[in-house]
Structure 1
Amino acid sequence: MQAELGDASAQTNLGIMYENGRGVGQDDQEAVKWYRLAAEQGDVRAQYNLGVMYDDGKGVERNDQEAVKWYRLAAEQGYARAQTNLGVMYDDGEGVEQDDQEAVKWYRLAAKQGDVTAQNNLGVMYMDGEGVEQDKQEAVKWYRLAAEQGYARAQHNLGWMYANGESVEQDSQEAAKWYRLAAEQGYVGAQYNLGNMYSHGRGVEQDDQEAVKWYRLAAEQGLAWAQINLGSAYHHGRGAEQDDQEAVKWYRLAAEQGYAEAQYTLGNMYLNGWGTERNDQEAAKWYWLAAEQGFARAQINLGTMYQYGRGIEKDYKEAVKWYRLAAEQGVSKAQVNLAWMYASGFGLPKSTLNAYMWLFLARQKGLSEEAKGGFSHLKKIMSSDGITKAEQKAQICLNSNYKECG
């Protein structure tokens, strides 16, 4: 047997047989044994493969530094896949100190040999200005080279450049073309973006059913935004038969990944009993999770739950806290609610001046008839000096981007 006689190429091939279970029982440790024997003789494929085994912890304990060692030996012999992987190690700071310039160096060497992963990664470095001066035209160049070889990630990235007009003329049809090529290979981001193209009729004829098809494929891979959009399609019966139970299912999957919009929407489903039994406590739970992330609509709803004691113990101070957080994001509904709390003295000292200030700010985006009535009432009972002071205070608040509202 040539491998046992020390033939490095045969040893590498035998390692591959053991790794993939071809003609022998699958055995990663045996694969490592043969890769090592060949790698120590300088066989470039074995060095690369041994690096992968250490990188993935297959047949050996995972060891990034050992992976780097073997990748480097193969990379220095010009082996493109090893150059790419060594670039990734520098890019991520695994087994070596993080170094974008070194990552670019190795990506470029592999990219010039036509390695699609390196071409795409080099495009990303140019796009983000990491390790090189930012150059979006260079990014497009490298994305295109990889995309034209069928590399899904690069096809998606090139599609994004066309969709957003980044260093190419904005072209929704070209964007849809590249998204489709990547989506048909199962690339989740492209599936989601192609769904959006169909949903909004950008670069393709508007088609809600096609949008749902692509959202579903991405959602089934766990992409939260696709799960949210698919849930919305079921909730509103757009592109799919109206089904709130299905909507709840998809909203929950995204909510459990920590996405605030999904948490907020799931809270609404519980609050209204859509697709699930009405449950104010569950609604408050999901609103709280979204509100903690700064999601203004959830903060408003959570404030309301505290104000009226729905699903949670009534607490005016907590209501004020959440209304204020949303009001300071410029949301008029929260500003109106906070004004009422000041006007009534619920959860904080009563203050017509502060009530007027928040209604004055909310008025910039339009007031409901009820809020207009309250605003008119405050104008009648306040002195002209008080109104002037409140409006000045509102201007300071606005100019400070809601950081100095008193």
Structure 2
Amino acid sequence: MRAIREKSLISVTIAAVLAFSASILPVHAQTAADAALNMANMLDGAGGGVSSGELIAALQNAADAGQPMAMWQLGTMYENGEGVARDPVKAFGYFAQIANQHADAAPKGVEADIVARSFVKVGDYYKQGLPDAGIPADANRSHALLLHAASYFGDADAQYRVGLLYMQEEEMGVNPLQSARWFSLAARKGHCPAQAQLGDLLFNGVEGIEAQPVEGLMWLTISHQRCSGTADAGWVDEKLNHAISLSTADEQAEANALAQSIAPQFAGF
């Protein structure tokens, strides 16, 4: 009887957290991935004599019931070895399950970001290959999965990464126009590395894109502000400082004025 009661308490805890996470999404414009993190934090402090193993089992039950947030949380736990032994095969399995079951989910739905990120995760595994899971390296499949996340779901990070692929001959082939297109889509969603890459392309100009120093400086300035304090800040600042060294005082003043006036429009969702 005690075992049954504990399992029931765990199930109630999981159900309550999932319901709470879903209920706060529209109010705070929170992503499902953020809600999954909140769910993990709440479970971590659940207490009540429930062990971590029982909580993991409850997450697995929720995942078996088709809860994408539970699958995502388990996938990231196994990928990073957080609370469980690191297991890339299990991580791949959870991310692949999300992608397979929700490939045609509503692009603007509550859990769309988790589905899109799962496509990116699965694409990463295909890029490197995962022999223990019988997954060979397959660049074409990796690209296709990334493109689905970028185009169907409009995921900003996926769009940025597609832009990078079009800068490498060994990936999608060098195509500055395509790079600029994908960087622009991500930049307008507030993705600061994409803003920097777009600004750099526009400032310098490339084949098919005439140099636009003011607009380029504007994007680099916005990126500098948004990337401050992140791991990308160093190379972003290098690009901005290089552009400043080649620009005129009038161009800098106009770019700064534009950046201050329109930056809030591109602050992300």
Please give the TM-score of this superposition, normalised by the length of structure 1.
0.48
| Corresponding position: 1:378 with 2:237 | no
SS in 2 for 1:329: coil
What residue in structure 1 maps to residue 117 of structure 2? 261
How far apart are the structure 1 equivalents of 2:196 and 2:41? Answer: 37
Give yes or no for contact 1:195–1:212 (8 Å, CA) kept in 2: no
User: Which residue identity lines up with residue 245 of structure 2 in the other structure?
Assistant: K
Q: Deviations over 1:172-201 (max 9, x none)?
A: xxxxxxxxxxxxxxxxxxxx8997356542
- Distance verdict in 2 for CA 1:200–1:327, change over 3 Å: farther
Q: Cα offset for 1:285?
A: 1.2
Q: Cα offset for 1:396?
A: 2.9
| Corresponding position: 1:402 with 2:246 | no
1:281 alignment partner, one of 122, 125, 140: 140
Instruction: Kindly name which structure, 1 or 2, has the bigger radius of gyration based on alpha carbons.
Output: 1
Query: Quick one: higher RCO (CA 8 Å, sep 6+), 1 or 2?
Result: 2
| Corresponding position: 1:235 with 2:99 | no
Structure 1: segments with no counterpart, 5+ residues: 1-151, 166-191
- Distance verdict in 2 for CA 1:159–1:330, change over 3 Å: closer
Q: Cα offset for 1:254?
A: 0.2
Q: Cα offset for 1:382?
A: 1.3
User: Which residue identity lines up with residue 278 of structure 1 in the other structure?
Assistant: A
How far apart are the structure 1 equivalents of 2:142 and 2:48? Answer: 38
Q: Cα offset for 1:402?
A: 3.4
User: Which residue identity lines up with residue 181 of structure 2 in the other structure?
Assistant: K
SS in 2 for 1:238: coil
Aligned length: 225
Give 1:97-176 correspondences, 5 Å limit: 156=15, 160=19
SS in 1 for 2:190: coil
What residue in structure 2 maps to residue 338 of structure 1? 198
Give 1:192-211 correspondences, 5 Å limit: 196=40, 199-202=43-46, 208-211=52-55
| Corresponding position: 1:304 with 2:167 | no
Give yes or no for contact 1:344–1:350 (8 Å, CA) kept in 2: yes
1:359 alignment partner, one of 220, 240, 250: 220
User: Which residue identity lines up with residue 236 of structure 1 in the other structure?
Assistant: N
Let me know the Cα RMSD of the aligned residues. Answer: 3.5
What residue in structure 2 maps to residue 322 of structure 1? 182
User: Which residue identity lines up with residue 117 of structure 2 in the other structure?
Assistant: E
How far apart are the structure 2 equivalents of 1:270 and 1:354? Answer: 37
Q: Cα offset for 1:208?
A: 5.0
Q: Cα offset for 1:398?
A: 1.6
How far apart are the structure 1 equivalents of 2:38 and 2:224? Answer: 39
User: Which residue identity lines up with residue 224 of structure 2 in the other structure?
Assistant: R
User: Which residue identity lines up with residue 60 of structure 2 in the other structure?
Assistant: R
What residue in structure 1 maps to residue 111 of structure 2? none
Give yes or no for contact 2:116–2:155 (8 Å, CA) kept in 1: yes
Q: Cα offset for 1:344?
A: 3.6
Q: Deviations over 1:276-324 (max 9, x none)?
A: 3332222211111111212111111111112214543432222111111
How far apart are the structure 1 equivalents of 2:51 and 2:216? Answer: 47
Q: Deviations over 1:130-175 (max 9, x none)?
A: xxxxxxxxxxxxxxxxxxxxxx99x94699569989xxxxxxxxxx
The sequence identity of aligned pairs, in percent, is 21
Structure 2: segments with no counterpart, 5+ residues: 1-10, 25-35, 104-114
Q: Cα offset for 1:222?
A: 2.3
